[in-house]
């Protein structure tokens, strides 16, 4: 990240949020993964209204995503993301440059979010693991049975996602959506000395070329790590009725 980018982000915060308790610049600009289409991800903590809201804009020709929070709204999103094991807000605060820190909350929340990211999510419950195995098994059967090339490719995309999520959450790792799921899987491989990301990507490319065997192989190996395929005997309880 360049000094120019950091100064532009600070200038935006000073101009639009002089009352901010804290603000952080996160995302690809900080992580070193920026591309020509990347934007500046800026999270701002306010004491109250007009927060919370999200806004997309341009500032000095830079595309900017603003995440304007109160402490209460931030805790709400953090709780939702912990449950889903997709730590978007934790990343946007824990892996950042501090742009403003009026009352110490900038440094405190950055440190707290970074520690939680490093600790990882809660382990899967028995029910969650069974549900994940069932979903991967179901998609695997769909891929095996399909004879339509387009349908196979769409099933394989869902299967890639479900398998990556099972692998990560089954090992106590955070997951994500889109590019972040790929990045988390790549980080897992780097830390573990494995190549699941490459194997799953190869499986996807093979399905696109008309060969499903590599995808079946890597998904089957991941399933075996967690007890194998699951269909017969699977049961999921519905929500209980309110009285």
CATH of the domain at 57: 3.30.460.10
pLDDT at 36: 64
- Which pTM does this prediction carry? 0.89
Range of the domain at 186: 126-225
State how many domains the chain has: 2
pLDDT at 239: 77
| Residue 187 binned pLDDT confidence (cut-offs 50, 70, 90) | very high
Q: Is 232 part of a structural domain of the chain?
A: no
Summarised one tens digit per residue, pLDDT across range 188-232 is 999 999 999 999 999 999 999 999 999 999 999 999 999 999 998
Task: Measure the CA–CA gap between 136 and 131, rounded to whole angstroms.
Answer: 9
Looking at the fold, whether 156 and 82 belong to one and the same domain comes out as no
Summarised one tens digit per residue, pLDDT across range 30-61 is 777 666 667 899 999 999 999 999 999 999 88
Looking at the fold, whether 150 and 85 belong to one and the same domain comes out as no
Would the CA dihedral through 202, 206, 212, 213 be positive or negative? negative
Give bridge partners of residue 160 from the DSSP assignment. none
User: What's the mean per-residue pLDDT of the chain?
Assistant: 93
Q: Which of 96, 119, 142 is the last residue of a domain?
A: 119
Q: Which of 91, 119, 147 is the last residue of a domain?
A: 119
Q: Is 12 part of a structural domain of the chain?
A: yes
Q: Is 231 part of a structural domain of the chain?
A: no
For residue 190, the surrounding DSSP H or E stretch is helix 179-192
Answer yes or no: are the C-beta atoms of 152 and 207 closer than 8 Å: yes
Looking at the fold, whether 173 and 96 belong to one and the same domain comes out as no
| Residue 28 binned pLDDT confidence (cut-offs 50, 70, 90) | confident
pLDDT at 241: 66
Looking at the fold, whether 153 and 216 belong to one and the same domain comes out as yes
Q: Is 243 part of a structural domain of the chain?
A: no
pLDDT at 47: 97
Looking at the fold, whether 114 and 134 belong to one and the same domain comes out as no
| Residue 25 binned pLDDT confidence (cut-offs 50, 70, 90) | very high
Task: Measure the CA–CA gap between 135 and 223, rounded to whole angstroms.
Answer: 11
């Amino acid at each position: 990240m360049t000094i120019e980018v950091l100064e532009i982000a600070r200038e935006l915060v000073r101009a639009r949020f002089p009352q901010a308790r804290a603000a952080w610049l996160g995302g690809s600009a900080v992580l070193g993964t920026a591309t020509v289409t990347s934007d500046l991800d800026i999270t701002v903590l306010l004491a109250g209204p007009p927060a919370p809201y999200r806004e997309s804009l341009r500032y000095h020709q830079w595309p900017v995503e603003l995440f304007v929070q109160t402490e209460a709204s931030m805790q709400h999103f953090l709780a939702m993301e912990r449950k889903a094991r997709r730590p978007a807000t934790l990343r946007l605060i824990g892996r950042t440059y501090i742009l403003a820190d009026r009352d110490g909350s900038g440094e405190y929340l950055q440190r707290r979010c970074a520690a939680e990211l490093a600790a990882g999510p809660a382990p899967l419950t028995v029910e969650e693991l069974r549900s994940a195995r069932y979903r991967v098994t179901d998609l695997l059967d769909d891929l095996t049975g399909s004879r339509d090339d387009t349908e196979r490719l769409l099933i394989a995309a869902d299967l890639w996602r479900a398998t990556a999520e099972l692998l990560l959450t089954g090992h106590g790792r955070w997951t994500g959506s889109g590019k972040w799921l790929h990045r988390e899987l790549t980080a897992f491989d780097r830390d573990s000395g494995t190549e699941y990301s490459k194997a799953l990507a190869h499986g996807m490319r093979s399905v696109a070329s008309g060969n499903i065997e590599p995808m079946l192989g890597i998904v089957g190996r991941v399933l075996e790590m967690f007890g194998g395929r699951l269909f017969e005997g699977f049961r999921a309880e519905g929500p209980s009725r309110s009285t």
